[in-house]
Chain A
Amino acid sequence: MRIVVLVKAVPIVGNERLGDDRRVDRANGLEANGNDEYTMEAALKLTEAHGGEVTLLTMGPAAAAEALRKGLAMGAARAVHVSDPALAGSDARTTATVLAAAIRRLEYDLVFAGADTSDGLGGVVAPWLAALLGLPYLSYGSRIEPGPDGTTIQVRRLGARGYDLLEAPMPALVMGTQVLGEPRYPSLRGIMQARTKEIATWSLADLGIPAETVGAGVAGSRVTSTALPPPRAGATVVREAPDVAVARVIDFLAARRLI
């Protein structure tokens, strides 16, 4: 099974800042999107069980390579880093277009993406990508397994009340969630071996994409203003014995008409 795992480098939670263009600064202090490690782990488990290799793919500035390192240390065979100054400020549309171009240059049976986290691109890039590539799209996976005859992939899609078992022929694009299972810690051997693994860097020119068709200049939206949310007043701290504390909580909630 040849699996391409999309890794998105996102600002480290808590350290995010806006750049001068009032867009999220994605140039510094990056780590892998929280859910990408779960899909990486799922991909590694599948290739360990059924043969094959995992290739990581990320798009972003130089600092995005950080996000690849851990995956290589976990056991991915190689990585591709799409990087070009013209990509700065790319929206979901550009991201999907560029990733599609990169994926078309790879050989794969499956493409994995992690569910977007809270500040991600809204969960639209993965289905967008599938539409551009003409791949079956199986989303919100909590379990991923090959189908009985080995030519299809089966994914449990998480729902509010249970799951739907989806099946599609490969090649396919699967979006996975945290429920796939805890990622392994990279071993020392993995960390050391990662040093010699290939990270290919591709520019827009390598993908045949003109610079003027991507980036902030053609983004579908622009930020018109930023504001701080109204500050919270600061906590009232209650340290009294339980019965007294409970009475104070009830008074507090009643005063705010919450009960």
Chain B
Amino acid sequence: MTVRLTPDQVALRDAVRELADAKIAPRAADIDTSGEFPWDVVKLLADHDVLALPFPVVDGGLGGDLLTVCLAIEQISRVCATSGLIVAIQELGSLPLMLAGTPEQHRRWFPDMAAGRALPAFALTEAAAGSDVAEIRTKATRDGDAWRLDGAKRFITQGSVANLVAVFVRTDESPEARRSRRHLSCFIVERDTPGFSAGKVEHKMGIRGSPTAELHFDGARVPDANRIGEVGEGFSIAMRTLDRSRPGIAAQAVGIAQGATEVAAKYAAERRQFGRPIGDHQMITAMLADMATRTEAARQLLYTACDEVTAGSPTASRWSAMCKLMAGDTAMAVTTDAVQVLGGYGYVTDYPVERMMRDAKITQLYEGTQQIQRLVVGRDVLARGG
């Protein structure tokens, strides 16, 4: 199937691009150097209703579908991967609620997120449970009409700034539950819950403005009303969430690749060596061609995956893994080439491509490493014979 953007999707994409170029691009270098979470960008995105995109209209959102949200992430990531991530996390952190929350839970939390007043986070990973999600140890024990959470999460994007965190915890220790993947549950933990705190914030190679935090649960008491879905539905919720959130990361990666290609192209048209713009030297021309072609291929796969996921395709997981796999590897390759095109200038911080290369790496790591994506796709290929 082919994807054609509708006129309003084109209008929205262009409107976000204009906003990103005008207001976010000038901040990108500083966000990276300072490593500070850009609250001003959060406000900008909130004021322009970008953060409202994924949420239902009834809750003050814009009712945007997955592709529409990805269009926004892509355009912002073109100029600043950290800022693009804010939009991606607004979607990721709210997906468990979208997929399995009750209407009452939606009314409780969506309006603030749609208004950009509340930021979410998605807390699945632990120190000893990264790719191996089933190994999660943070546990929740029933305590009257509440649950008591004990444990710790690691590498949680926005964990230290989020107003609400979707936390995945073990609620059943039995081997049968573990075998049938019904041993985890999901809870919304609000920021000021006693016993819940953010710990160390990591120093990272890239997306340095996005705080990646440890979260500590020391007897944190969470009402049962904050449980999302059934007890034991947590693993399923996590997997369904990732199916839908991986395109958001693919969009970030495509945006990074696009931004890097644009910088490299502009440089190659202006920089002269041996009497000509370096873009005229065939090895550079070829690199630019490859960068653009690969980025476009990743983009087309992303758009198609969005449509497939939205349509509820039985192979949605495969599509979403494919697009994230392709986009992440593309972003890394394209940004590396962009540094190459700029030569020495690509290595220094005066030009943005070294930052884009450092930013690109994470797209091969989070929301499922490329190796996990390959497992998902490969297993499906074997199961279907192609």
Contact = CB atoms under 8 A, between A and B. Distances in A.
B8 A73 contact: yes
A194 B7 CA distance: 11
A69 interface: yes
Contacts of A187: 15, 48-49
B16 to A, nearest CB: 7
Interface of A: prevailing SS: helix
Nearest to B60: A189
Given A66-B7, A73-B8, A192 B62 contact: yes
B12 interface: yes
Contacts of B62: 188-189, 192-193
B64 to A, nearest CB: 6
Contacts, number: 40
B334 interface: no
Contacts of A191: 8, 11-12, 15
Which among A73, A187, A192, A194 has the highest number of chain B CB atoms within 10 Å? A192
B70 interface: no
Interface in A165-204: 185-189, 191-195
Interface in B66-109: 68
A39 B286 CA distance: 49
Contact of A69 (B11, B63, B64): B11
A188 B49 CA distance: 6
B53 interface: yes
B50 interface: yes
A188 B12 contact: yes
Contacts of B15: 185-188, 191
B242 interface: no
Interface in B1-18: 7-8, 11-12, 15-16, 18
B52 interface: yes
A69 B64 CA distance: 17
B11 A73 contact: yes
Contacts of A195: 8
Contacts of B12: 188, 191-192
B8 A69 contact: yes
Contacts of B8: 69, 73, 191-192, 194-195
Which among B7, B18, B53, B64 has the highest number of chain A CB atoms within 10 Å? B7
Interface string A46-74: 00000000000000000000100110010
A193 B18 CA distance: 20
Contacts of A192: 8, 12, 53, 62-64, 68
Nearest to A192: B62
B123 to A, nearest CB: 29
Interface string A70-92: 10010000000000000000000
Contact of B50 (A70, A188, A193, A194): A188
B353 to A, nearest CB: 29
Contacts of A194: 8
Contacts of A189: 49, 52, 62
Nearest to B45: A188
6 contacts: A69-B7, A188-B49, A188-B50, A188-B62, A192-B8, A192-B12
Closest 10 CB pairs of A and B: A192-B62, A188-B49, A189-B49, A191-B11, A191-B12, A195-B8, A69-B7, A191-B8, A188-B48, A189-B62
